[in-house]
Amino acid sequence: MEVQDESDLETFLQWAAALGVSDSPIKKSEVPTFPPSSCLGHSLSVSHFPVAGGRGLAAVRDVMKGELVLRVPKEALMTSESLRSKDQKLSAALCKYQKLSSNQVLAVSLLNEVTKGKVTRWYPYLKQLPRSYDKLSSFGQLEIEALQMDDAIWTAERAVEKDKIDWREATALMGELNLKPQLMTFKAWLWASATISSRTMHIPWDSAGCLCPVGDFFNYAAPAEEPYHSENKPHQNVFPLHDTSPGKVQNAGKSVEEPFYAHEQRLIDAGYEEEIAAYCFYARRNYRKGDQVLLSYGTYTNLELLEHYGFLLHENPNDIAFIPLEPNMYSLCSWPKESLYIHQDGKPSFALLATIRLWATPVTYRRSVGHIAYSGHQISAENEVTVLEWIVQNCRALLGNCSTSIEEDELLLNTIHKIQDYNTSIDFGDVSRACIIEPSAFLEMNDRKLRSQVQICRKARLIHRWKLAVEWRLSYKRILCECISHCNERLENPFLNVS
């Protein structure tokens, strides 16, 4: 993610303060008549965290778990509704395009606001938005192929296609609004779509969510303390930043009279609170002065983080891997396909094990032992050996189909880091011949004479996205390796329960 210059930050924080954004635990009735010069300083400050999200929010004092650390009033939230209510032309045009989704409407409304330049009241906020993003739909063919796993490649291609369709459908409306030509391009659409995907927060009245100035400076921490990918149900996003699905967990809200701290039992760390008409952010744990205060946007695998936010975590307790199953396996069980996975620590999920145990049972016995498989117990030692060997074999096959090994990916990443750190030309001397083919395409790109700053930035983006793809496939392969080790350990004693 490429962020705007820091120089406008002060103006932005002042602008936000004037709208009532505050990190001070005061009640609504106490909002000062003359806003302070910054909306931050009491609990938080903007800081830079190179290895955990770049620009983010740091605690300026010790903060207790459950304390309110930021409030963003409704007037400061950018929503389709707030934009169209101040723009008659937009409002009239939108009436003619009722079939567009909420996300498309917000994307067009956002681009329409950007078209206005300095005239819009949102200008200080718009200047703070990143100029470009790295989510899957902005990956080119090279980066997509670098993911190596079919499922991930399919996810990336689908993401690109989805954005293309959304953009095509919205072009007539954008034309009617006379957007600047450069804001009607697919590139501009990708920017708007990524802004929405990675920065909007849930609100009850619009499934596209809202853009929340300053609140969108919180970087992400996985909700590791929550039970992840609960064994009997598919994984889900429990605390979504931008979740658009109905029925999601909601902040219970509270009375204005209540003190804004010590909500030890609070289930989520951010939410819109009707009673005070503000988006409120609470500390999820205790923080020491200087620590980065993080938000849990939801429970995501690394591929989902890449798809929606354009980053991944090197230690993601919610990451999972899938191995291809035979078509008849899916019909054997009632669990959804997504629940048949391998945990980050290499253990097969409950549903995956049960399904393979049943599949490895002779057809005539399946009915009589179904209840054993469904209760999570091994059916017999012989069956267990078949199951574990099958998993090992399939993990190996998946790893074997990749054009690079784990060791080669590690070497490749070292080299990519060197290029990024020292901006040197690519030297793949250390990388084995087996993975030379892949870098050669990037190498070709790098060797071209770079005349302008724009081209240099483009190269940096390409290298960064390539690195993300290699990091992703490496973490996926490590899960498969963990699974092989786990199964081999179990095979040494198949009489033990696998749970």
Ligand X SMILES: C[S@@+](CC[C@H](N)C(=O)[O-])C[C@H]1O[C@@H](n2cnc3c(N)ncnc32)[C@H](O)[C@@H]1O
Q: Is the dihedral of CA 482, 486, 491, 497 positive or negative?
A: negative
Q: Pull the structure tokens for residue 265.
A: 């039992």
- Distance in Å, CB of 308 to ligand X, minimum: 8
> Measured between alpha carbons, how far is 288 from 60 in angstroms, rounded to an integer?
8
DSSP string, 380-416: -HHHHHHHHHHHHHHHHHHHHHSSS-HHHHHHHHHHH
Q: Pull the structure tokens for residue 228.
A: 């992840």
Exposed/middle/buried for 413, CB within 10 Å: 0-12, 13-18, 19+?
A: middle
Cβ atoms of 427 and 415 within 8 Å: the answer is yes
- Distance in Å, CB of 104 to ligand X, minimum: 20
> Measured between alpha carbons, how far is 109 from 189 in angstroms, rounded to an integer?
11
Closest CB to ligand X among residues 30, 315: 315
Closest Cα to residue 269, out of 225, 304, 213?
A: 225
- Distance in Å, CB of 3 to ligand X, minimum: 5
Q: Pull the structure tokens for residue 285.
A: 């744990």
Closest CB to ligand X among residues 293, 484: 293
Closest Cα to residue 135, out of 2, 308, 297, 316?
A: 308
Within 8 A by CB and 6+ apart from 138, the residues are 132, 190, 194, 310, 465
- Distance in Å, CB of 311 to ligand X, minimum: 4
3-state secondary structure of 321: strand
Closest CB to ligand X among residues 56, 346: 56
Within 8 A by CB and 6+ apart from 437, the residues are 403
Hey, which residues does 450 pair with through a beta bridge?
Answer: none
Residues lying near ligand X in the complex (CB under 6 A) are found at 1, 3, 52-56, 130, 198-199, 216-220, 309-311
Closest CB to ligand X among residues 344, 404: 344
Closest Cα to residue 198, out of 126, 296, 294, 305?
A: 305
- Distance in Å, CB of 178 to ligand X, minimum: 29
Closest CB to ligand X among residues 47, 446: 47
Closest CB to ligand X among residues 309, 350: 309
- Distance in Å, CB of 199 to ligand X, minimum: 5
- Distance in Å, CB of 32 to ligand X, minimum: 27
Closest CB to ligand X among residues 128, 355: 128
> Measured between alpha carbons, how far is 122 from 315 in angstroms, rounded to an integer?
37
Closest Cα to residue 78, out of 250, 212, 173?
A: 212
Q: Within 13 Å of residue 317, how many CA atoms lie on the same side as its CB?
A: 13
Closest CB to ligand X among residues 128, 404: 128
> Measured between alpha carbons, how far is 80 from 82 in angstroms, rounded to an integer?
6
Closest CB to ligand X among residues 310, 494: 310
Closest CB to ligand X among residues 211, 332: 211
- Distance in Å, CB of 393 to ligand X, minimum: 35
Helix (H) or strand (E) holding 73: strand 68-73
Provide, for the chain, the percentages of residues in helix, strand and coil under a 3-state DSSP scheme, each rounded to the nearest 5. Answer: 50, 10, 40
- Distance in Å, CB of 12 to ligand X, minimum: 11
Closest CB to ligand X among residues 167, 220: 220
Hey, which residues does 343 pair with through a beta bridge?
Answer: 320
Closest CB to ligand X among residues 325, 413: 413
- Distance in Å, CB of 150 to ligand X, minimum: 25
- Distance in Å, CB of 127 to ligand X, minimum: 12
Which residue type occupies 215?
G
DSSP string, 35-48: --S-S-SSSEEEEE
- Distance in Å, CB of 307 to ligand X, minimum: 11
